[in-house]
Amino acid sequence: MFGGIDPGLLIASLMVASVPILFAAVGELVVEKAGVLNLGVEGMMIMGAVTGFITAVQTGSPALGFAGGALGGAVLSLLFAVLTQVMQANQVASGLALTLFGLGLSSLLGQGFVGIKPPLTPDVPFGPLADIPFIGTVLFSHDPLVYLSVLAVAGVWAVLSFTRAGLVLRAVGESHDAAHALGYKVRRIRVLAILFGGAMAGLGGAYVSLVRVPQWTDGITAGAGWIALAIVVFASWKPWRALLGAWLFGGITVLQLNLQAAGSRIPVEYLSMSPYLITILVLVIMSSGRGRAALSAPASLGQNFHAAR
């Protein structure tokens, strides 16, 4: 069944395939931990994809391109922050609107950039390490963003679990009234979380347009943002599980295409639905084991906060 598929190459490509959803999921996880539900991930991703692409093409530097992507995502998320944190608009509606707006705006911005090739993002030079069979292919043959995505997960996990800032962020997400009573600036913290989420989604989007598919096309993210949103929920708001979810999803997507290319006898219908099915199944089973506490969302998720209330 696995005849002809090189496991090293497969693992290497699943890591690459998962980077966009992983960035977006980790960003959204922080946003939701702060008690804000931003459904605009898809919109922020595609904004990041187009602004990152434009920056990279104009400056000729992929690194600046990724910075531009993160900035583009963050700027769009600022709109969401103003709507929900300042004007107290409904978060679900604002998030959905953000996606629609992002899709339209990106298409407008990208009009002059269709059919252009961006500068190539080089792999991190590990020298002879990359030549080690299997391990070299899996661990030492990637571009910097692949490592950065794993570092981002580790960083978010460490900050949320072990630092004062992480504790404050979680407090804001669990009970904004209590956090406010303790003197924390609930809205300011939430705006910062939203900006972080936007930047991460933008980075993920830029990865799609600069590395995964090095080109700009309307609608290039094709729903990756929604997958990221789902992964945050199924990962029960835990960073490492989000990594697992993203890798499972990306991995099985790549695996099923490889199985098809290798001429497996498994019907294509089952292969095509397997990424969705298996990712959800695994994450649900993992969170069902330890009772309801493990499933719990941040208690203030999706609720607006106003100090006068």
Partner 1 sequence: MKRRHLLATAALGLGLAFGGAAAAQDKTKACFVYVGPIGDLGWSYQHHQGLLAVQEAYGDKVETAYQESVPEGADAERVLTQMALSGCDIIFTTSFGYMDATNAVAKKFPNVKFEHATGFKREAPNVSIYNARFYEGRAIQGHIAGKMTKTNKIGYIGSFPIPEVIMGINAYYLHAKKVNPAVELTVVWAMTWFDPAKEADAAKAMIEQGVDVIASHTDSTAPLAEAAKTGGKVIGFGQASDMAEYKPSPRVTSIIDNWAPYYVKRVGQVMDGTWESIDSWEGIASGEVELGEITDAVPADVKAEAEAMRDAIAAGTYHPFTGPINKQDGSVWLAEGATAPDGDLLGMGFYVEGITGDIPK
Determine the Cα–Cα distance for residues 12 and 16; give it in Å rounded to an integer. 7
* Contact present, 27 and 292 (Cβ < 8 Å): no
Residue whose C-alpha is closest to residue 246's, from 129, 136, 152: 152
Number of CB atoms found within 10 A of residue 37's CB: 20
* Minimum CB distance to partner 1 smaller for 114 or for 129: 114
**CA–CA dist 17, 8 (Å, integer):** 14
Asked if residue 218 binds partner 1 (CB under 8 A), the reply is yes
110 near partner 1, judged by CB under 8 A: yes
The stretch near partner 1 (CB under 8 A) out of 69-77, 159-167, 205-213, 282-290 is 205-213
Phi, psi of 102 (to 5 degrees): -60, -45
> Which part of the chain contacts partner 1 (CB under 8 A), choosing from 73-81, 129-137, 195-203, 213-221?
213-221
Take residue 247 and report the two structure tokens written for it: 């890798």
Q: Does 284 bind partner 1 (CB under 8 A)?
A: no
Interacting residue with partner 1 among 267, 293, 308, 309 (CB under 8 A) = 267
Q: One-letter amino acid identity for 40?
A: G
Taking the complex as a whole, the smallest distance from the CB of residue 78 to partner 1 amounts, in Å, to 26
Q: Which is it for the CA torsion 170, 171, 175, 180, positive or negative?
A: negative
Q: How far is the CB of 126 from partner 1 (least distance, A)?
A: 19
Residue 5 identity (one-letter amino acid)? I
Nearest to 299 by CA among 170, 173, 161, 171: 173
Q: Does 258 bind partner 1 (CB under 8 A)?
A: yes
Assess 217 for contact with partner 1 (CB under 8 A).
yes
Rule CB under 8 A: say whether 208 interacts with partner 1: yes
228: contact with partner 1 by CB under 8 A:
no
Query: Distance between CA 233 and CA 294 in Å, rounded?
Result: 11
Would you count residue 183 as binding partner 1 (CB under 8 A)? no
| Nearest-approach distance from CB 137 to partner 1, in angstroms | 11
User: Considering the rule CB under 8 A, would residue 263 count as an interface residue with partner 1?
Assistant: yes
- Contact segment (CB under 8 A) with partner 1 among 52-60, 70-78, 251-259, 282-290 equals 251-259
